[in-house]
Structure 1
């Protein structure tokens, strides 16, 4: 079956077009990985430090936040530094999922309109680019964990399944946000505004466990999906068992995101080139 036949196929199988497209995109790993690496290299190509700027900027951020906000936490500066080093790296990846997802098809409109490639190629490229930055930032985070004695292998392995759950959700979210924004451009501006607020609603500059149950800050954090995505990943990295309720929330969110991705793909897959 050719690419064009696949896009134009009708009938009941169209309800699975999003999942089929994702599977076909995953099989072309050499293509989307090469695209992602090239985009990262292009961003730092004429810089003297190159990719080292990612490390430098992250170290400066973690150090500054720890110095200025560490004194407000009952954890102490050492524990707070580890908290920031892990959580902000993962938060930046989550933010990239939303903001990059809004532009994932629009920024590749020439390719979408001229090449019969699976749409998931562009999503996978975008997520891979964000993963590259996350990997570099987490290297700094792991160094901080080792230096502060927080990395405990007895529970740290729990971060692995959490990572793959969040990664899968990132693919789903970027897909349906990409379709939605291609049709309604205002969605991108809305998401940018929301992500600015999420930075303060997510426990990065403050610690969720230190907030009284029922307080406004704790309630907003509990209602924030980013909080639960970070909890299942960062808690094991920091040597703690993740909150079981966060796993429950992520399970529900995964189911919802699958349905949203399938619905958006069913409605928008064939129309995407015309919307761009």
Structure 2
């Protein structure tokens, strides 16, 4: 038998066979059963971040409100949009984008940042992902206060049918369809978990992934209809922007944003957004379970 060095033993995966889908499913199931753990840790993360701050987590709301107001005023002027309907559009879009951005950027670093807990706390790997997603969900809840203020200010304009510059149809305004935001947000959270699982595992093995994503995320923001809407393409192209709208809809993040934004501001809720997001949910979780099955046991050796 050939002698094995200490370094080789440190890099080797566990001897037991853990590469089964049953153990991958069990990891997710057991993580959900530990919800008191990751729920408490996620809440403590926010308290720790704003420790000794006078107004605490309200800084989240203030930052979001000032950014949304500045972008709404700027782009409503550039695109000649009615501020009463365009500012809510930008505000909600930016709130949803901030949740997606946090999940993607922190998801790539979720296992690396929890190196100490992974090595010393006997808990499912998915616990760290759920902790991060829960923390981002709390940020999202804080930012919703900005939406409530905007809704109160522009309530008369948003509760009746209105037209946005460049659109070829009229939006119905806020009705009982606003309740669709509940399943839409639930679907967004479900996708957030697989995104963090998949990218977290890949980034733990290949440390170049996080900086690559951080380099391109700002470009993706401006390519996604958040501070502009697809109807404006008809305006700048004299009604010949249909193919450009199709290109814009090839951006999957647009469908995730619109799924939550549309009911909150009374926009037409197109069925194809649900189809696209549903397809990504199924495909994404399939990839996440494959990665969890094959590399779950190796993550503690990679961090």
1:93 equivalent in structure 2: 99
Q: State the match for 2:68 in structure 1.
A: 62
Q: Higher helix share goes to which structure? A: 1
SS at match of 1:248: helix
Q: What RMSD over aligned residues (CA atoms) do the two structures have, in Å?
A: 1.8
Q: Deviations over 1:1-34 (max 9, x none)?
A: xxxxxx986378x124333211111111111011
State which of 60, 76, 87 in structure 1 corresponds to 2:82: 76
Q: Distance in 2 between matches of 1:173 and 1:210?
A: 31
Taking the TM superposition and a 5 Å limit, the aligned residue runs for 1:213-224 are: 213-216=241-244, 218-224=245-251
Q: Residues 82 and 145 of structure 1 are in contact (CA less than 8 Å); yes or no, is this contact kept in structure 2?
A: yes
Paired residues in the alignment total: 268
- Cα distance in 1 for residues equivalent to 2:178 and 2:51: 35
Q: Which has the larger radius of gyration?
A: 2
- Aligned equivalents of 2:27 and 2:15: distance in 1? 13
Deviations 1:89-118 (A, max 9, x none): 000100111101100000001111122201
**Aligned in 2, Cα 1:158/1:183: closer, same or farther, shift over 3 Å?**
same
Q: Is the 8 A contact 1:155 1:241 kept in 2?
A: no
5 Å matches for 1:33-182?
33-149=39-155, 150=158, 152-182=174-204
Q: Is the 8 A contact 1:229 1:250 kept in 2?
A: yes
Output one character per residue of 1:47-76: Cα deviation in whole Å (capped at 9) or x when no partner.
222111111111111111122211133541
Q: Distance in 1 between matches of 2:17 and 2:185?
A: 35
Correspondence for 2:270 among 239, 243, 251: 243
Cα distance per residue 1:227-251 (max 9 Å; x no partner): 0001111101111232211111111
Q: Give the secondary-structure state (helix, strand or coil) at the position aligned to 1:265.
A: helix
Whole-Å separation in 2 of the counterparts to 1:16 and 1:8: 18
Q: Secondary structure at the match of 1:157?
A: helix
For structure 1, the residue ranges without an aligned partner over 5 or more in a row are: 1-6
Question: TM-score with structure 2 length normalisation?
Answer: 0.84
TM-score by length of 1: 0.91
What is the DSSP-based 3-state SS (H/G/I as helix, E as strand, rest coil) of the residue aligned with 1:47?
coil
- Aligned partner of residue 242 in structure 1, secondary structure: coil
Deviations 1:74-96 (A, max 9, x none): 54111111001111000010011
Matched, 1:194 2:201: no
Deviation at 1:209, TM superposition (A): 2.8
Cα distance in structure 2, aligned partners of 1:230 and 1:39: 26
| Pairing partner for 2:257 from 215, 218, 230 | 230
- Pick the aligned partner of 1:208 from 203, 217, 230: 230
User: Is 1:10 the counterpart of 2:17 in the alignment?
Assistant: yes
The equivalent of 1:261 in structure 2 is: 288
Kindly indicate whether the alpha-carbon contact (under 8 Å) linking 1:231 and 1:243 is maintained by their aligned counterparts in 2: no
